[in-house]
């Protein structure tokens, strides 16, 4: 055999040998229950989106997809667990704007993972605006009331969110800067506990993602006073936007499916395909509409590029806001 041909054959053989373990893992996947980590407490938008996806994937994959809530440190605790997991497709995370765009800048060196390189970004699931809600018995009927009351209180108004590092936390900071008011951020370990506190009148108001607040608004257990969408949301046409009330704020959250870096391409491709099939069903689209969200439509490559752009977008915003995780 000529030397050049022999060398090419050796290279091809070596490449095939390297690919075999990855291909073998992909063919055997899933090997039992898949764990889907939610880096927030139950009841919030991330949790709701995760459970919808988990139910659909379980049916399509033929194995249980178990949702595991691991809140803490602005969604970085659960995300770090997944970054450290084996890249075999058995452990995934419901990545989101907090865990992969805001918290890395907010927590600095305390975050050990790289939002882009430490993960395999698989599929965008849902995007949605934020909504501000108050207890229905509150004297706050709109943003003008909120600003007026905040200016009469030492330290400003107590404002809750699903946790330090969430997009809703940063929205509170940006609004307070624009309005020229002070506020005391009251972070909870998820939107569910924060909403419970608002309903019980333990805190005056909260900034929440629309999917987790939608049911409470419809039930009348809270009253919505502002929406962060560019225009009024079709599901809640009576809720005015920030812009309508004189504050040029537009903010959108996102929730997606990611795994550890280095996952085999066949597993990533199948997970993306099955996730897109789940969120394309009439049942899922109806549920998303009820939640006030829009289903994702990115390829895995587009989603990876999107996460990188979100990191670049939010890091300077966090620095300029002066927000901290403390």
Which residue from 276, 244, 284, 311 is spatially nearest to 98, judged by alpha carbons?
Answer: 311
| Residue showing tokens 């569910």 | 192
> Is the distance from CB of 33 to CB of 55 less than 8 angstroms?
no
Neighbours of 139 (CB within 10 A): 11
Secondary structure class of 140 (helix, strand, coil): coil
Buried b (16+ CB within 10 A) or exposed e, 115-130: bbebbbbbbbbbbbbb
Structure tokens at 240: 């005015």
The mean pLDDT value of the chain amounts to 90
CATH fold of 129-245: D-Maltodextrin-Binding Protein; domain 2 (3.40.190)
Tens of pLDDT, residue by residue over 124-173, are 999 999 999 999 999 999 999 999 999 999 889 999 998 877 789 889 99
What pLDDT does residue 10 have?
54
Number of Cβ within a 10 Å radius of residue 299: 12
CB atoms within 10 A of CB 313: 11
Q: Is 274 helix (H, G, I), strand (E, B) or coil?
A: helix
What pLDDT does 128 receive?
Answer: 92
Instruction: Give me 196's structure tokens.
Output: 């419970």
- Over residues 177-200, mean pLDDT: 93
Query: Span 249-278, mean pLDDT?
Result: 96
Among 259, 237, 207, 194, residue whose Cα is nearest residue 37? 259
What pLDDT score was predicted for residue 3?
55
Q: Let me know if 12 is exposed, middle or buried by CB neighbors in 10 A (0-12, 13-18, 19+).
A: exposed
- Bridge partners, 294 (sequence order): 127
| Residue 26 CA: distances (Å) to CA of 92, 143, 283, 291 | 15, 52, 29, 34
Query: For 225-236, what is the mean pLDDT?
Result: 94
Q: Which two tokens stand for residue 29?
A: 């996947």
Integer Cα distance of 217 and 203 in angstroms = 17
Angle between helices 45-61 and 282-291 (to 10 degrees): 180
Question: Could you tell me the residue ranges of all domains in the chain?
Answer: 30-127+254-321, 129-245
List the end-to-end C-alpha distance of the chain, in Å, as a whole number.
68
pLDDT at 28: 83
Residue 65 forms beta bridges with which residues? 34
Q: Tokens 């099939």 belong to which residue?
A: 277
Segment holding 294, helix H or strand E: strand 294-295
What's the 3-state SS for 199-216?
HCCCCCEEEEEHHHHHHH
Average pLDDT value for residue range 261-269: 98
- In terms of average pLDDT, the best of 20-34, 162-176, 238-252 is 238-252
Calculate mean pLDDT across residues 224-243.
95
191 vs 58: which has the higher pLDDT? 58
CATH number belonging to domain 30-127+254-321:
3.40.190.150
Check: pTM over 0.85? Answer yes or no: no
Interval 48-72: pLDDT, tens: 999 999 999 999 999 999 999 999 8
Instruction: pLDDT band for 25, please (50, 70, 90 cuts).
Output: low
pLDDT at 57: 98
* 149, two tokens: 């009351």
Angle at 168 between CA 207 and CA 91, to 5 degrees: 120
Report the distance separating Cα 175 and Cα 237, nearest Å: 22
| 6 vs 145: CA distance, rounded Å | 79
Q: Is residue 27's pLDDT more than 80?
A: no
CA distance 296 to 298: 6
Q: Are 279 and 285 in contact (CB under 8 A)?
A: yes
Percent of the chain with pLDDT over 90: 72
Asked if residues 225 and 217 have their Cβ atoms less than 8 Å apart, the reply is no
**Model confidence at 321: pLDDT above 90:** no
**Region 271-299: what's the mean pLDDT?**
93
Backbone angles phi, psi at 127, to 5 degrees: -125, 150
SS3 52: helix
Predicted confidence (pLDDT) at residue 273 exceeds the cutoff of 60: yes
**Does the fold of domain 129-245 match that of domain 30-127+254-321?**
yes
């Amino acid at each position: 055999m000529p030397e050049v041909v022999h060398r090419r054959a050796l290279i091809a053989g070596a490449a095939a040998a390297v690919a075999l373990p990855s291909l073998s893992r992909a063919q055997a996947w899933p090997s039992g229950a898949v764990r889907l980590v939610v880096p927030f407490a139950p009841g919030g938008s991330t949790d709701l989106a995760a459970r919808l996806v988990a139910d659909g994937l379980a049916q399509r994959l033929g194995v249980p997809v178990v949702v595991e809530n691991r809140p803490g440190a602005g969604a970085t605790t659960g995300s770090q667990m997944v970054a450290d997991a084996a890249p075999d497709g058995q452990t995934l995370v419901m990545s989101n704007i907090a865990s992969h765009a805001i918290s890395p800048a907010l927590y600095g060196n305390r975050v050990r993972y790289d939002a882009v390189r430490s993960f395999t970004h698989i599929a965008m699931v849902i995007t949605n605006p934020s909504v501000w809600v108050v207890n229905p018995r509150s004297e706050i009927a709109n943003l003008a009331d909120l600003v007026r009351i905040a200016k009469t209180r030492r330290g400003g108004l107590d404002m809750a969110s699903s946790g330090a590092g969430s997009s809703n936390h940063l929205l509170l900071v940006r609004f307070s800067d624009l309005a020229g008011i002070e506020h005391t951020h009251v972070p909870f370990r998820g939107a569910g506990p924060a909403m419970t506190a608002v309903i019980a009148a333990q805190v005056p108001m909260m900034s929440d993602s629309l999917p987790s607040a939608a049911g409470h608004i419809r039930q009348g257990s809270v009253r919505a006073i502002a929406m962060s969408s560019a225009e009024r949301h079709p599901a809640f046409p009576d809720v005015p936007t920030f812009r309508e009330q004189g504050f040029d704020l537009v903010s959108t959250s996102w929730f997606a499916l990611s795994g550890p870096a280095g996952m085999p391409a066949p597993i990533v491709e199948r997970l993306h395909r099955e996730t897109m099939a789940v969120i394309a069903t009439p049942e899922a689209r109806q549920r998303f509409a009820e939640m006030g969200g829009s289903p994702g439509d990115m390829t895995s490559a587009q989603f990876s590029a999107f996460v990188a752009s979100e990191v670049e977008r939010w890091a300077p915003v966090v620095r300029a806001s002066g927000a901290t995780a403390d």
